[in-house]
Amino acid sequence: MKPWQHLFQTAMADGETYFNAGEYHRARLLFQEAYERIPEPQRNYAESTQALSGLADCFYYLENYEKAKGLLDDVLFCPGGAASPTVRLRRGQIFFKTGDVEKAKMELTAAYLNGGMAVFHNEEECMRLIANVIEGYERR
């Protein structure tokens, strides 16, 4: 493990602790610190997917949907980001909250296709939004 990776993991773990306690401002600072530990070009590292997703989650819960969406747009260009069901779920939630139901359906469908029903744990509203898609795939 390279020195920056150890510092990255420490900041991410601390950020997750604050995030799980609902302290999104403090978690955001730690996720930002973790992201800054990643060498340039940051988009080439899987750690960027994790750090930017954590930042986006903080902004989502702080109801800054535009900032969260911008970060998730960046995640799509990081390793594994575009195929991540949790990234697609969060993008769908943001589009739904900002009134773009069609984009929300597209992202939620991508979440379902990449992760199945397990992605939608406690997300009944999202499941209802794409119920016809889910039913179509389950009938196959």
Nearest to 118 by CA among 126, 2, 92: 126
- Read off the pLDDT of residues 84-125 as tens digits, 9 standing for 90 and up: 999 999 999 999 999 999 999 999 999 999 998 899 988 888
Q: Which residue has the higher pLDDT, 56 or 136?
A: 56
Q: Residues 75, 95: one domain? A: no
Q: Residues 116, 137: one domain? A: yes
Domain range enclosing 89? 84-140
- Read off the pLDDT of residues 10-32 as tens digits, 9 standing for 90 and up: 999 999 999 999 999 999 999 99
Q: Residues 17, 41: one domain? A: yes
pTM for the model: 0.91
Q: Residues 73, 11: one domain? A: yes
Rounded Cα distance between 75 and 83, Å, is 10
Q: Residues 126, 95: one domain? A: yes
